[in-house]
Amino acid sequence: MRNLVLASFENPLGNQCVDIFSRPDGTFGFEAFRRDWEDGGLWVSLNRYSRLVFKSESAAQEQAKSAVPWIDRRMG
């Protein structure tokens, strides 16, 4: 089974995003991605945060807010 993306937040420029996801084992996490137009506009994982494990979606969101400065404004 694969991770299930629960929410995805893009920065105002549309060139970075953060996904909040659940894992098949019931834990949660998040990852940051970038998109460069010279790479065909594909999202590329930055592989910075996906190994972090959280017991709840809200805990993953709170850590994402701390790790990615622009996301707090997008989560509302």
In this predicted structure, the answer to whether residue 73 has a pLDDT above a threshold of 90 is no
Distance CA 3, CA 73 (A): 25
Determine contact, residues 66/59, Cβ cutoff 8 Å. no
Query: For the whole model, what pTM was predicted?
Result: 0.88
Provide the residue ranges of all domains of the chain, joining segments of one domain with +: 4-75
Residues in the chain: 76
pLDDT bucket at 74, cuts 50 / 70 / 90: low
Q: pLDDT per residue over 3-57, tens digit each?
A: 999 999 999 999 999 999 999 999 999 999 999 888 788 999 988 899 999 999 9
Q: pLDDT per residue over 15-27, tens digit each?
A: 999 999 999 999 9
Distance CA 32, CA 16 (A): 7
Three-class secondary structure of residue 32 per DSSP: strand
